């Protein structure tokens, strides 16, 4: 018979049994469920709701189940619907009637909210840890490339010269915002809902703070209706994960481009590339593509979760069971993506030559010619036009700006003198962009130093 079978006169239809059962996925929560139940039982014993001997028996029984589940000595039962009822049933099978006292003063509604929060607290930490590994990989590669000049792009058209380190450090900033989002989300996840009952608390003299403390929560939830129906923290995590995937995906897109024959800025390590079943020459950036591809499923879950919640009357509704497959998939996807991305990035081979050549083409120093004229007293708008004409001329001639003669420069403006060539060398163009946040090697080196300190703080805070 079902744990809730008292008021029923018929067996559940087989189709319904299968349809509403969640054990096939919520078994993932078993260790959190047992930890929560142990804390609950201890509190019931301490407050005298059950005797302390009964509490001890329950706790021992639960510890035994935990050990047996860990070693695969016991199987979960599909008919027992979900992980909560499975464990309660196992407990009663093992320790008899006293096991039936465990569920005093609680409901599966506050129980599942508790399990999910415990799970999420752990996964938030793991995700944050994996993010740090990616940050470390970025800093590691950036440090070696502070003077590696490459073209910077807008509209995927060559724009101005930058360095590879500068480009990489842009991603450091994105991942740091991601880290902060996870940290922030953790605060709102870190409250214990046990004691909210089904929706309206309980009549028993329970001690909610004792349970929260044993389980390592920073506090307890307020309103009981909100406590059992709140899934905001899952939406927040998924939104943070969606942005992490967005950043990974953009990075992957660039890695794919850079690894192409056309760019050939980088070469991926063999361990992080794959071959083709027909074309013997191929080395494909599958890992980067797959991360880019997996981004979509995380976005999908974000919309799925929001939609699941938006029409729900208070308090608990079974719709909320749909949160689990979504959040488990989000967690697995983002963690696996971060895990494989870090070493893929750390092992790339950088072609300084190709990047340098790239920076020399495409008139990336045109702005610097205009700035030169401005420094000699011309208004920027006039300088822009003069250099536009110069570029047009150079295009016709099939030359770049350093290959034009001084006489040609002077035909366009008498302000040009011999020092123009020094002023527009690619190295000078990068070196002089010495503004805070700019690509000048000194500024990027300082940004890298700061990033290392940020990584240490991140590590301390998780």
Interacting residues with ligand ARG (CB under 6 A): 22, 26, 82, 108-109, 112, 316, 318, 320-321
Owner of token pair 């953790």? 186
**Is 52 annotated in the active site?**
no
Provide, for the chain, the percentages of residues in helix, strand and coil under a 3-state DSSP scheme, each rounded to the nearest 5.
Answer: 70, 5, 25
CB closer to ligand ARG out of 109 and 148: 109
CB closer to ligand ARG out of 190 and 322: 322
Minimum distance from residue 213 beta carbon to ligand ARG (Å): 24
According to DSSP, residue 280 is labeled T
Alpha carbon 60 to its chain's center:
38
Minimum distance from residue 316 beta carbon to ligand ARG (Å): 6
How far is it, in rounded angstroms, from Cα 125 to Cα 362?
45
List the alpha helices (DSSP H) in 347-438: 352-360, 366-375, 380-397, 406-412, 420-423, 426-431
How far is it, in rounded angstroms, from Cα 212 to Cα 62?
19
Catalytic residue from among 27, 276, 337, 384: 276
**Is 40 annotated in the active site?**
no
Q: Give me the count of residues in the chain.
A: 462
Minimum distance from residue 44 beta carbon to ligand ARG (Å): 20
Catalytic residue from among 155, 261, 414, 436: 155
CB closer to ligand ARG out of 189 and 295: 189
Minimum distance from residue 198 beta carbon to ligand ARG (Å): 7
List phi, psi (to 5°) of 160: -145, 155
- What DSSP string describes 281-327? T--B-HHHHHHHHHHHHHHHHHHHHHHHHHTPPSS--GGGGGHHHHH
CB closer to ligand ARG out of 55 and 196: 196
How far is it, in rounded angstroms, from Cα 162 to Cα 142?
13
CB closer to ligand ARG out of 26 and 57: 26
Minimum distance from residue 343 beta carbon to ligand ARG (Å): 36
Query: Could you give the residue numbers annotated as active site?
Result: 155, 276
């Amino acid at each position: 018979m079902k744990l809730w079978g008292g008021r029923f006169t018929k067996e559940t239809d087989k189709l319904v049994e299968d349809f509403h059962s969640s054990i096939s996925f919520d078994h993932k929560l078993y260790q959190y469920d047992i930890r929560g139940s142990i804390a609950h039982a201890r509190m019931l014993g301490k407050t005298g709701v059950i005797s302390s001997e009964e509490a001890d028996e329950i706790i021992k029984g639960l510890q035994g189940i935990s050990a047996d589940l860990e070693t695969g000595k016991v199987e979960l039962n599909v008919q027992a619907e979900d992980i909560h009822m499975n464990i309660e049933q196992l407990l009663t099978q093992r320790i008899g009637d006293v096991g039936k006292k465990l569920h005093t003063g609680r409901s599966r509604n506050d129980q599942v909210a508790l399990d999910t929060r415990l799970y999420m607290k752990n996964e938030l930490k793991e995700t944050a840890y994996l993010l740090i590994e990616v940050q470390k990989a970025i800093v590691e590669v950036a440090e070696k490339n502070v003077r590696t000049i490459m073209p910077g792009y807008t509209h995927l058209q060559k724009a101005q010269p930058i360095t590879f380190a500068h480009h990489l450090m842009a991603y450091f900033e994105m991942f740091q915002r991601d880290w902060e989002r996870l940290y922030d989300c953790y605060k709102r996840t870190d409250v214990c809902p046990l004691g909210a009952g089904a929706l309206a608390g309980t009549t028993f003299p329970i001690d909610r703070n004792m349970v929260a403390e044993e389980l390592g929560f920073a506090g307890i939830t307020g309103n009981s209706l909100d406590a059992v129906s709140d899934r905001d923290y899952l939406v927040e995590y998924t939104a943070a994960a969606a942005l992490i995937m967005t950043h990974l995906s953009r990075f992957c897109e660039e890695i794919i481009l850079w690894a192409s024959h056309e760019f050939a800025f980088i070469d991926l390590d063999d361990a992080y590339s794959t071959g083709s079943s027909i074309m013997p020459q191929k080395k494909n950036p599958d890992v980067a593509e797959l991360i880019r591809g997996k981004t979509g499923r995380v976005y999908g879950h974000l919309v799925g979760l929001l939609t699941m919640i938006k029409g729900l009357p208070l308090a608990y509704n079974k719709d909320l069971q749909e949160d689990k497959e979504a959040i488990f998939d989000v967690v697995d996807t983002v963690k696996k993506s971060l895990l494989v991305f870090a070493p893929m990035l750390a092992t790339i081979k950088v072609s300084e030559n190709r990047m340098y050549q790239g920076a020399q083409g495409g008139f990336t120093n045109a702005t610097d010619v205009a700035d030169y004229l401005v420094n000699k007293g011309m208004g920027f708008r006039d300088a822009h036009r003069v250099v536009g004409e110069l570029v047009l001329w150079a295009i016709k001639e099939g030359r770049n700006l350093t290959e034009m003669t001084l006489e040609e420069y002077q035909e366009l403006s008498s302000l040009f003198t011999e020092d123009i060539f020094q002023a527009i060398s690619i190295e000078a163009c990068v070196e002089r962009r010495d503004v805070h946040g700019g690509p000048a090697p000194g500024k990027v080196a300082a940004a890298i130093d700061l990033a290392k300190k940020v990584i240490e703080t991140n590590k301390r805070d998780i």
